[in-house]
Amino acid sequence: MDILTTVNDLREAIRARRTYLKRIGFVPTMGYLHAGHEALMRQAKEECDLVVASIFVNPTQFGPAEDLEKYPRDLARDSELCARAGVDFLFHPDARDMYPLGSSTWVDVDGLTAIACGAARPGHFRGVCTVCAKLFNIVRPDRAYFGEKDFQQLMVIKRMVRDLFMPLTIVGVPTVREPDGLAMSSRNSYLSLSERQAARVVPKTLQRAREMIDAGEHEGAAITAAIEELVAAQPLAKLQYAVIVDPDTLTPMRALTHEARLLVAIFVGATRLIDNCALVPKAVAPPA
Ligand code: AMP
């Protein structure tokens, strides 16, 4: 595996291999890698001839009061994981290379970004879309891999690629979880021991929603009320949002007439954790 730190070096390295390759796969990350990232890389390796991964803590997707400075970093450990997962080129640029002096172009996806993380983190998706557009233009992959863990991000990136006729396919990969159900996340490393225990409430909200659906509940408000109650009972946790949306348009759904997506964001101590799951309502029996 080669580690490249400038846009030009990565472009050159890929150019030398592109002509005789059938498919280039790309996995963008912010590093401090775990088994969730590894699943994306392994799937890319299975489906592509060359795998490029990036590690870049993108400053433009962090709000002024967020954790950009303290975001965890460990390039040595990350490179080992990438090499093990079969990554060919690891791209690790610095911010001046990705945003040269005078950069003034941004990519905004409307609509899908109006709720959930888009509403809670103003400017976040603008930063995500802009850096992904830059990375897609540098790597020019055939397929790029994104986790369902960040479901709204996955849908926003798919929409950007569709709207801008970007010549690649976005592949969604299921969420990888810890044995107790907590979705793997680089930010889990912020949790103290007691917060880590308390964080179990996050997957529990999804489980509660699915149980209610299985018991025949069709009202979104009843499910979000139950989630509010569950989180309120955990003293270290604070619900930021729980919304039930159409999985394609991300518009809120009141009645679960068809498959929906539940999106939650919960603070555990100072750490913000997000998760989501599909909600598949029981078919309403046709009248006899
Ligand atoms: P991040 O480094 O957090 O920006 O994540 C980089 C990519 O890995 C994104 O596409 C995430 O959705 C994905 N990812 C993060 N955590 C997980 C997980 N637990 N399971 C699957 N994919 C994940």
- Considering only the top CATH level, what class is 186-277? alpha beta
- Cα 262 to middle of ligand 1, angstroms: 18
Alpha-carbon span 216 to 227, nearest angstrom = 17
pLDDT in tens, the chain (288 residues): 999 999 999 999 999 888 777 899 999 999 999 999 999 999 999 999 999 999 999 999 999 999 999 999 999 999 999 999 999 999 999 999 999 999 999 999 999 999 999 999 999 999 999 999 999 999 999 999 999 999 999 999 999 999 999 999 999 999 999 999 999 999 999 999 999 999 999 999 999 999 999 999 999 999 999 999 999 999 999 999 999 999 999 999 999 999 999 999 999 999 999 999 999 988 755 566
Which atom from ligand 1 is nearest to the alpha carbon of 37? 8
Element (H, E) at 29: strand 24-29
Among candidates 61, 189, 199, which has minimal Cα distance to 131? 61
Annotated catalytic, 34?
A: no
Which atom from ligand 1 is nearest to the alpha carbon of 175? 20
* CB 55 near ligand 1, within 6 Å: no
CA distances from 16 to 21, 26, 84, 176, 193 (A): 10, 17, 23, 34, 48
CA distances from 120 to 2, 62, 86, 191, 252 (A): 38, 12, 36, 21, 15
- Cα 225 to middle of ligand 1, angstroms: 28
CB 32 within 8 A of CB 78: yes
- Cα 61 to middle of ligand 1, angstroms: 15
What is the reported pLDDT for 264? 98
- Cα 177 to middle of ligand 1, angstroms: 11
Domain boundaries, the chain: 2-173, 186-277
CA distances from 73 to 37, 100, 189 (A): 14, 23, 11
CA nearest ligand 1 atom 10, residue: 146
* CB 171 near ligand 1, within 6 Å: no
Would you identify the CATH topology of the domain 2-173?
Rossmann fold (3.40.50)
* CB 124 near ligand 1, within 6 Å: no
pTM (2 d.p.): 0.97
